[in-house]
Amino acid sequence: MTTAALPEPITEGENSVATAPRRADRPRSARHGEGGRRAAGTALTVVTWGTGLLFVSPALWMVLTGFKHESDAATDPPRALFQPTLDRFSTVVDSGILPYLGNSVIATVASTALVLLLGVPAAYALSIKPVRRTQDALFFFISTKMLPVVAVVVPLYVAAAEVAMLDNIWTLVILYTAMNLPIAVWMLRSFFLEVPTGIVEAAQMEGAGLPRVLWSVMLPVMAPGIAATALICVIFSWNEFFFAVNLTAVQAATVPVFMVGFITSEGLFLAQLSAAATLVSLPIVIVGWIAQRQLVRGLSMGAVK
């Protein structure tokens, strides 16, 4: 009777070292992988900051130029080291920028309020209760943005002159409302479509009508989208120049018209122009900074399902 050979016991020595797994290799590879991910993250951070600084560098140079003397601002190549001064900002304020700022604030706030007052119900109707010609209505809204502004400025000038509305701030309010309403309707409709239908159905089952559903249910949900739309309308109205320079003179001129006054036949006052541009840009920057959380949430509505 033969007996099966038993496996030889593993003894300490060279065999055990050869057959045992190399545990030291695993932490080393893990360290290599972690180091690679860390290097990739650092490189991505550097590229992101570099891209951001590249985009913000013109605005940063504008702000720095506003603190220069005119002689320092006109040098070629530009000077990076200079003696800062606030004289350019005081000159801009003393030159009468405040009435222009007031006109811009009135035109921007009033037109944005009218856009939301008219655009929210229109977008609500086109999203919740669409009709057979909904797409035609949407195309009609957006087609008004395809018409060049220069093609309508003469008829608008004649019409404003006939009703004695030239150099009137409310003429700009009406035009800015008409200018921003199409894009606002399209944006608000897309935000309305992203509201879960279950919320609307639950409110309707409780007996809420369409106005109650709009004001009590949907508007609180899509508040970020409304904030994003309002901010875009504010930016467009604040920066509009063509209507303001052609339909206003003294009483209703806005800040873009005021800034053109720094370009004269005597030359370009670059430091004063940069100081004025900094003061004009500051209100929009502050509004955007305050509403940045709502803006990001509004612009990302519907991006992730």
| Segment 228-258, tens digit of pLDDT | 889 889 999 999 999 999 999 888 999 999 9
The pLDDT score that the predictor gives to residue 298 is 54
Residue 191: inside a domain, yes or no? Answer: yes
Residue 10: inside a domain, yes or no? Answer: no
Residue 89: inside a domain, yes or no? Answer: no
Residue 96's contacts (CB-CB under 8 Å, 6 or more residues apart) are 258
Whether 103 and 252 have beta carbons less than 8 Å apart is answered as: yes
Count helices and strands in the chain by DSSP H and E runs: 16, 2
What's the CATH code of the domain at 214?
A: 1.10.3720.10
Whether 5 and 14 have beta carbons less than 8 Å apart is answered as: no
The pLDDT score that the predictor gives to residue 190 is 83
Instruction: Collapse the DSSP code of 165 into the 3-class scheme (helix H, G, I; strand E, B; otherwise coil) and give the result.
Output: coil
The residue type of 156 is: L
The pLDDT score that the predictor gives to residue 17 is 46
The pLDDT score that the predictor gives to residue 304 is 43
The pLDDT score that the predictor gives to residue 302 is 47
The residue type of 303 is: A
Note down the domain range covering 219.
95-299
260 — phi, psi (to 5°)?
A: -65, -25
Strand-pair partners of 263? 268
pLDDT profile of the chain (305 residues), mean per 10: 50 48 53 71 88 88 88 79 87 88 94 93 80 76 82 91 92 94 88 77 74 76 84 92 90 90 74 89 85 62 47
Angle at 53 between CA 48 and CA 58, to 5 degrees: 150
Q: What is the DSSP code (8-state) at residue 268?
A: E
Q: Which two tokens stand for residue 246?
A: 């052609």
- Residue located via tokens 């229109």: 122
Residue 157: inside a domain, yes or no? Answer: yes
- Listed in order, strand segments (DSSP E) in the chain are 263-264, 267-268
Residue 33: inside a domain, yes or no? Answer: no
Q: Is the bond preceding residue 220 a cis peptide, omega within 30 degrees?
A: no
CA distance 1 to 126: 94
Residue 22: inside a domain, yes or no? Answer: no
The string of DSSP codes covering 19-70 is HS--TTHHHHHHHHHHHHHHHHHHHHHHHHHHHHHHHHHHHHHHHHHHTS-H
Q: pTM of the full predicted structure? A: 0.77
- Write out pLDDT tens, residues 192-236: 887 777 777 777 777 777 777 777 777 777 888 888 889 889 999
CA distance 131 to 98: 48
Residue 294: inside a domain, yes or no? Answer: yes
Number of domains, the chain: 1
Q: Which two tokens stand for residue 160?
A: 């404003």
Residue 45: inside a domain, yes or no? Answer: no
